[in-house]
Amino acid sequence: MEKNKIIYRIILIIILITIIGILIVKGLNFNSNLDISEWDEEKLVNIPKLSEGMEPIIFNETGEVIKVENNQEWYDYKKQANTTENGGDSMWANAQTKDGSLWVWIPRFAYKINYNDNEHKENGGNIEIKFLKGNTNLDENNNDVTEQGYKVHPAFRNGEINGYANGEWDKEITGIWVSKFEAGFAGIENTSTSNIQAQDTEVYYETASSQNIYGKIEAGKTKMKYPIFIGGAFSYTGIDIGEMYKLCRNLNAENNPYGVNKEHEDIHLMKNSEWGAVAYLAYSAYGRNGTQIAINNIEIENVEKVKTITGYSSKNEDYMVNNISYNGNIENYNDKSFIWYTEEGGLASTTGNKYGIFDLAGGTTEYIAGYLENMEIQNEAYLKDFDKIEQSNKYFTIFKYEENKSTYESNKDTYGDATIEISSGNGSYESWDKETSYYITRRSPFFLRGGCFSEGSFTGLFAYSIHSGHSAEDHGFRCVLIVE
C-alpha cells in the first residue's frame, strides 16, 4: 500500500514538472505581470488601447473622420505580398482625441533584420515582424519569439533593469499611439486648422525674443500654444529641443484640449526608440514592404516664420519640387504635391494609403527626446527643460560618450532605434536606401530624424542627422501617447 502511494506521488511530480516545462517553453512562466487579454484573435495584433478622450475612426474619400461603430472594420495590419510603389492596403488603427488630433496605433512586436550584405549594411535588407500577445514575448502560436532570433522592440519593454539604455518604457506595454502628423499650429486661416481654436498651455517660451505665426514672442512672458496633429497644418517650429521636450511633457495638464487624463495617459516627445518602432514596422511587410515613403516636399515661401505644411506627398519621381506659394488650396499644388487622403498623397505614409503615419520623410526634420552625454558646454543650455536626471529614463535616452572612440562605436550595442542597426558608419549616406547617417557628437549632441522638405531622396525612415539643439524654421517634432 505504501509502495503504491510512493509511485502515485512520483507520477504527480513528473506530471507537474512536465506542465511547468511546457509553460516555460511557451514563455508563460509564473510571472503574474504577463497578460494576453488584449490580443485580437481575429486580427492577430494587440487591440488598440483607447483613453477616455479617444475615439476609434476611419476616413472617407475626402479625409473626413468617421467614428467606428458596431461591426465596422477599424484596422487590419495586413501583410503585403508585393512592394508598394503604387500604394498598399494595410490598415493601421487610427483614433482621434477631442481636439481633432489624429493618432496611429503601433502594436507590440518583435523584429529580425536580414541584411543583403552583413559587412555593408547600407546595401539594405528586409525586416521581419512578429506581433506579440499582450505584454508577452509570445506570437500568435504561443511561441516565445526570442528563441527564434527575434528581438522584442524596446519601445514596448520595461527598461528599469538596464537603465532605459535602448529607450524603453517603465513597464511592459501592449502598444503605443504615435501622432499621425508632425505637430502643427492650431487656429490658422487658410489651413485645415482654421476652425480649431488655438489654446495656451502653461509653458512659456524661454528663448530670446522672436516671432512665430501668432505674433511676437517674449521669453518668459509668452505662453506656447497646444499643438494640433492633423494634415494640412502649418508645422509647429521656432522652439528649441528643450522647449519641445517641456511642451510635450505638459500636454496632459488639467483642461488640456485632447481630453487626456494625466492619471492614466502620458504624452511625450517622441524618442529615438519610438521612431525606430515606426520605421521598422513601416519597412516590414505590414507597412511598405521595403518601398521608400515619398517625401513631403512643400516649402512655403510667402508665409512669415513658416516653412512647410503637414500631410503632403510629392510624386515619387519628383523629390525636389520646392518653394511653393501657399494660397490656401489644400487639394494639391499644381500636381506637384498631394494631400494625405488622396491616392497620390498616401504614398508619403507608412502604409501607402491614408491609414498610415505621415511626414516621416520631409516636411520638417524632427528633434528626438535624447542627447549625448558630456556634450560641449554651449549645448548644455538646451538641457534646462529636461528632467534633472543624469541618466536615461522612460522619457529620454542619454547616449554614451567615450574618449578616443567615435560616438557611433561607443553606442554600437544600441538597438531598435533605426540608426546603428541599419547603417554602416557615421557619415554621409550610409543608412539603408542611401539615407543620411550622421551620429551625434559633442558639438552636435541631439538627433534629428527623417530629413526636411529640401533634402530629396536623402530623407526617409532611416535618415538621421545631428544638431546643436537650437530652434529653426525647418525643425519640428511629434508626440507619442501611451495609455496605461
Distances (CA, A) of 288 to 282, 283, 301: 6, 5, 32
Q: Is the pTM of this model over 0.85?
A: yes
pLDDT per residue as tens digits for the range 139-166: 999 999 999 999 999 999 999 999 999 9
pLDDT surpasses 70 at 360:
yes
Above pLDDT 70, what percent of the chain?
89
The pLDDT value recorded for residue 36 is 76
* 391 conformational bin, left if phi > 0, alpha if psi -120 to 50, beta if neither: beta
Contact between residue 356 and residue 349 where contact means Cβ atoms under 8 Å apart: yes
Longest dimension (CA), the chain: 97
Whether the per-residue pLDDT at 23 is higher than 60: the answer is no
Helix H or strand E encompassing 126: strand 125-131
With 70 as the cut, is the pLDDT of residue 316 above it? no
State yes or no: pLDDT of 390 exceeds 60. Answer: yes
DSSP of 204-234, one letter per residue? EP-SSSEEETTEEE-TTTSEEEPPB--TT-B
What's the rounded mean pLDDT across residues 459-484? 95
Predicted confidence at residue 302, as pLDDT, reads 78
The pLDDT of residue 20: 47
d(CA 387, CA 303): 35
Phi, psi of 191 (to 5 degrees): -130, 175
Mean pLDDT of all residues belonging to the chain: 89
Which residue has cell 512586436?
109
Higher pLDDT pick, 380 / 92: 92
pLDDT for residue 27: 41
Is the pLDDT at 447 greater than 50, yes or no? yes
Q: Give the per-residue pLDDT at 26.
A: 42
pLDDT higher than threshold 60 for residue 399? yes
Output 456 or 46, whichever has higher pLDDT: 46
At 65 the pLDDT is 96
Mean pLDDT of 19-37: 49
Task: Please choose, from the candidates 480, 452, 445, the residue with its C-alpha nearest in 3D space to the C-alpha of residue 466.
Answer: 445
Tell whether the model's pLDDT for residue 227 goes beyond 60: yes
Q: How many CB atoms lie within 10 A of CB 295?
A: 34
**Is the model's pLDDT at 445 over the cut of 90?**
yes
Q: What average pLDDT does range 349-355 have in this prediction?
A: 98
**Which residues, listed in sequence order, are joined to residue 449 by a DSSP beta bridge?**
366, 464
Q: Does the pLDDT value for residue 94 go beyond 90?
A: yes
Distance CA 434, CA 436 (A): 7
Tell me which of 199-203, 299-303, 373-377, 380-384 is least confident.
Answer: 299-303
Contact, 435 vs 347, CB < 8 A?
Answer: no
Q: What is the pLDDT of residue 418?
A: 97
- CA 128/CA 135 separation, integer angstroms: 19
Measured distance CA(324)–CA(317) in Å, rounded = 18
Given this model, what pLDDT does residue 123 score? Answer: 87
Question: Would you say residue 324 has pLDDT above 90?
Answer: no
**Predicted confidence (pLDDT) per residue in 243-269, tens digit:** 999 999 999 999 999 999 988 899 999
Q: What is the DSSP string of 364-387?
A: SEEE-SEEETT--GGGGGGGTTS-
What pLDDT does residue 71 have? 79
Grid coordinates given for 138: 509570445
Report how far residue 164's alpha carbon sits from residue 475's, in angstroms, rounded to the nearest whole number. 26
Radius of gyration from C-alpha coordinates of the chain: 23
